[in-house]
């Protein structure tokens, strides 16, 4: 065990003096990632505001004689109503941002108290057209209510009869649960990518990198056993991954707690708070993943003839991890028990539960067990490869 510590100490010193490791372990997760997320958030918000302030043109079917509808639409700021013989053609030619098709004799039908169906025409590929569609639909809704009220009044009925039943939304989730949900959507992804980035450079450097630099033999001819050497290296790689996770979690927590700048949480009226215990649990759940990724990448590094080959193979692994990470973003349905046994996804789901204040020991055990078993297998493979002279001394 002493040799494990000696190798670990040397590898950590070596890694901390490598600018690439520092960049991926601390600078990226702590500074670059939050800056990028803030930038994207700001861009998205500014885009939304720009769309709201852009003047839209709604083409209303010529001869519709629905002056009330025209008045309602025109009352909307930044909305101009034009008459059109063919609203769909005007939308396609971009003369109008959206259009409303009105069936012939609509005005008369309404007077008789008969139903009329208006069609809102829009271009789904244009954000501004979708915005004009929403404004048109809102205007039609108001116009409909007004028309119904008038029809009821004309028949001596109270105008409110049209609104006997209304619906209002109330989110039963507590504020902290909502905050946990919001954080749980993206934090597992950020941590997964963070740990993958954190371990890759070091894992390849301590294996195939040593082959390239001709430093491996100097260690192999020491009295330390090869498993001790590999375990010392593995611990150093896991440490870099764990520091990357800590940096990611810290930066995200600060961003989240420091004002809910993400996902328009403020606009949704969500109180931004998450328990330190849950956050600690989330970080701890990343450890088996860090061990798994480290062992897999080290096994690949041992197998690679050169650091270049190792880096190439690491890119493939990272692509798989990014795919797995994205699956944690999109998996929004109620997870089944089996989902917790899927590598990466299971950990992400368990992390999400913790952030939402839910504690299901069986889910945690399944997620940890799955990653741990795979990590043990990967460590076994890495140890075997590191001890295999035909692999370690394959000619380039």
Partner 1 sequence: MIEAKGLTKQYEDKKKGPFRAADNISFTARKGQVFGLLGRNGAGKTTTLRMLSTILMPTEGTAVLNGFDILENAADVRRSIGFHTSDTKLYDRLTGREALEFYGRLQGMTEADVRARVQELAAEFKLVEFIDNRIAKLSGGQKQRISLARVVVHRPPILILDEPTVGLDIMAAREVMLFVQRSRASGHCVVLSTHIMAEVEKLCDEVAIIEKGRVIESGTLGAIKERHKENEIEEVFFKLVGEGVQ
Which residues ranging from 2 to 31 are in contact with partner 1 (CB under 8 A)?
Answer: 2-3, 6-7, 10, 13-14, 17-18
Q: Hunting for tokens 């611990």 — which residue is that?
A: 235
- Interface mask toward partner 1 for 198-217; x: CB under 8 A: ---------------xxx-x
Q: How far apart are CA 242 and CA 244, in angstroms?
A: 5
**In contact, 369 and 288? CB cutoff 8 Å:** no
Minimum CB distance to partner 1, residue 228 (Å): 9
How many angstroms separate the Cα of 126 from the Cα of each of 54, 57, 93, 95, 132?
A: 13, 14, 13, 14, 10
Q: Which is nearer to partner 1, 3 or 275 (by Cβ)?
A: 3
Q: Which of residues 274-333 bind partner 1 (CB under 8 A)?
A: none
Q: How far is the CB of 27 from partner 1 (least distance, A)?
A: 18
309 CB contacts (<8 Å, ≥6 apart)? 208
Stretch that binds partner 1, among 1-9, 117-125, 160-168, 293-301 (CB under 8 A): 1-9
> Cβ closer to partner 1: 125 or 390?
390
Burial class of 3 by CB neighbour count within 10 A (0 to 12, 13 to 18, 19+): middle
Structure tokens at 150: 């008038």
Long-range CB pairs of 329-334, under 8 A, 24+ apart, other chains included: 329/185, 329/186, 329/189, 332/185
Burial of 36 (0-12, 13-18, 19+ CB in 10 A): exposed
**Positions 238 through 257 that interact with partner 1 (CB under 8 A):** none
The only residue of 67, 112, 125, 218 in contact with partner 1, by rule CB under 8 A: 218
Residues that contact partner 1, how many (by CB under 8 A): 23
Complex with partner 1: residue 160 or 389, whichever CB lies closer: 389
Instruction: Please pick, from the candidates 222, 271, 273, 280, the single residue that binds partner 1 as defined by CB under 8 A.
Output: 222
For residue 273, state whether it binds partner 1 (rule: CB under 8 A).
Answer: no
- What distance in Å separates the CA atoms of residue 354 and residue 366, rounded to the nearest whole number? 14
Smallest distance from partner 1 to CB 244, Å: 19
Residues 344-373 that bind partner 1 (CB under 8 A): none
> How does 244-261 read in b/e, with b if 16+ C-beta sit within 10 Å?
bbbbbbebbbebbeeebb
Task: Please report, as ranges, the residues that interact with partner 1 according to CB under 8 A.
Answer: 2-3, 6-7, 10, 13-14, 17-18, 213-215, 217-225, 389, 393
């Amino acid at each position: 065990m002493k040799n494990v510590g000696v190798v670990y100490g040397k590898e950590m010193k070596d890694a901390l003096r490598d600018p690439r490791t520092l960049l991926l372990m601390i600078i990226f997760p702590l500074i670059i990632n939050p800056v990028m997320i803030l930038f994207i958030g700001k861009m998205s918000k500014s885009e939304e505001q720009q769309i709201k302030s852009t003047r839209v043109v709604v083409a209303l079917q010529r001869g519709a004689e629905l002056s009330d509808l025209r008045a309602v639409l025109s009352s909307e700021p930044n909305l101009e109503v034009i008459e059109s013989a063919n609203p769909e053609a005007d939308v396609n030619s971009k003369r109008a941002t959206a259009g409303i098709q009105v069936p012939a004799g609509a005005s008369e039908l309404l007077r008789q108290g008969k139903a009329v169906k208006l069609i809102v025409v829009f271009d789904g590929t244009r954000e501004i057209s979708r915005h004009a569609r929403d404004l048109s639909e809102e205007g039609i809704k108001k116009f409909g209510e007004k028309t119904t009220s008038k029809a009821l009044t004309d028949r001596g009925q109270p105008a409110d009869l049209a609104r006997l039943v209304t619906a209002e939304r109330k989110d039963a989730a507590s504020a902290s649960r909502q905050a946990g949900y919001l954080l749980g959507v993206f934090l597992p992804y950020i941590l997964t990518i963070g740990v993958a980035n954190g371990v890759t450079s070091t894992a390849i450097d301590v294996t195939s990198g040593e082959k390239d630099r001709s430093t491996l033999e100097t260690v192999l001819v020491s009295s330390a056993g090869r498993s001790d050497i590999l375990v010392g290296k593995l611990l150093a790689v896991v440490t870099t991954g764990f520091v990357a996770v800590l940096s990611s979690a810290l930066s995200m927590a600060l961003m989240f707690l420091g004002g809910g700048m993400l996902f328009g949480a403020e606009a949704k009226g969500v109180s931004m708070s998450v328990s330190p215990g849950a956050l600690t649990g989330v970080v701890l759940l990343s450890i088996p993943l860090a061990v798994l990724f480290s062992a897999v990448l080290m096994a690949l590094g041992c197998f690679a003839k050169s650091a270049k080959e190792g880096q190439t193979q690491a890119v493939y692994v990272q692509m798989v991890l990014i795919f797995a990470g994205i699956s944690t973003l999109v998996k929004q349905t109620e997870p089944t028990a089996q989902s917790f046994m899927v590598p990466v996804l299971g950990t992400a789901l368990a992390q999400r539960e913790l952030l939402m204040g839910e504690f299901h020991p069986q889910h945690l055990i399944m997620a940890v067990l799955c990653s741990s078993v795979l990590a043990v297998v990967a460590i076994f493979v890495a140890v075997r490869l590191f001890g295999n002279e035909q692999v370690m001394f394959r000619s380039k």
